[in-house]
Each structure stands twice: as structure tokens, then as C-alpha cells.
Amino acid sequence: MGAVVRRGERHRTKGVKIMKKRLLSLLLAIVMTCTLLPTAVWAEDWGSGDCGDNMTWVLDGDGTLTISGSGEMYDYGSAGPWQQYGVYMRKIVVGDNVTSIGRYAFADLELVTEVQLPDSVTKINDYAFDGCTDLATFDIPSNVTHIGNYAFNDC
């Protein structure tokens, strides 16, 4: 003989199943929301700092590194302070009044495809863009009077 199920128990069992589905749906919604949090954070500025006596840098959520201020950029021993974010970087924009690009400033930023330099830049130091392998074209401002050794090596 089969098991006897009372009428109330059948409704209770159905209610438990519905409750489990709702709980699972809620849990899934929470997990999906949590996976979007890094994207929301990425929409903000990713990093920033100084890169000259009167210059700053900001990397935004679109992968654009913007250099602002005036004067000469610092020279670096092997890479600029934004190097740790290189996997996110696609574009470099150097603002007006910047007069030099520092040694090793943008070295090994392999995924950068575009660089915009203002006419105020007169000097591009050694190894400045060394290893920027995805940089297909580059307009050197007409006021540049010095391009250092290996400035565009492996570009």
C-alpha cells in the first residue's frame, strides 16, 4: 500500500518547495549583485598620484591615463607609478603645459593603443615608450627637439 498523505501535508510540502525556490532566487540575485560590484568600483578613478613637481596622473575606468599640470615629468628607473595598472590601460592623454616625457614613463604598457601629446612637449626621454607593442601610430608634436635613446623601442 502507498503512503497516505493528508490534505494539509500536501499543501505544506508545496509551500516549502515554493519557499525554497524564492530563497534560491534571492540568493542568486545577491550573488549576481556582488559580481557587479567590481564593475561599479572600476567606473571610478582607478589610481592617481604625482608624476612631476607640478604634475599629477589619474587612471579612469575607461582605461585612460591622464597626465595634468605643468613642467617636466619625473624620470623613472624602470616604470612609471601607473605600471601596476598596465593591464587596464588603453590610452594616454598628456595635458597642455607638460614639457617632457620622463625616462621609462610609459615603458612596457603593452595594451596602450593611443597616445595624445600636446605641442608643449619638447623632450621625450630614454625608453619613454619602450615596449608599447600595441601602439600602432603616434604623432610626435612638432616642438619636440629631443628624443632619447630607445624611446620607441619595440613599438
| % of the chain at pLDDT higher than 70 | 72
Residue with cell 564593475: 39
Mean pLDDT score of the chain, rounded to an integer? 84
CB count within 10 Å of CB 62 equals: 12
* Of residues 103, 106, 107, the one with CA closest to residue 74: 103
Predicted pLDDT of residue 39: 44
* Surface-to-core class of residue 109, CB atoms within 10 Å of its CB (0-12 exposed, 13-18 middle, 19+ buried): buried
Average pLDDT score over residue span 34-43: 45
The residue that leads in pLDDT, 38 or 117, is 117
What's the whole-model pTM score?
0.71
Q: How far apart are CA 117 and CA 96, in angstroms?
A: 8
Q: How confident is the model at residue 43 (pLDDT cuts 50, 70, 90)?
A: very low
Question: CB under 8 Å to 14, separation ≥6 — which residues?
Answer: none
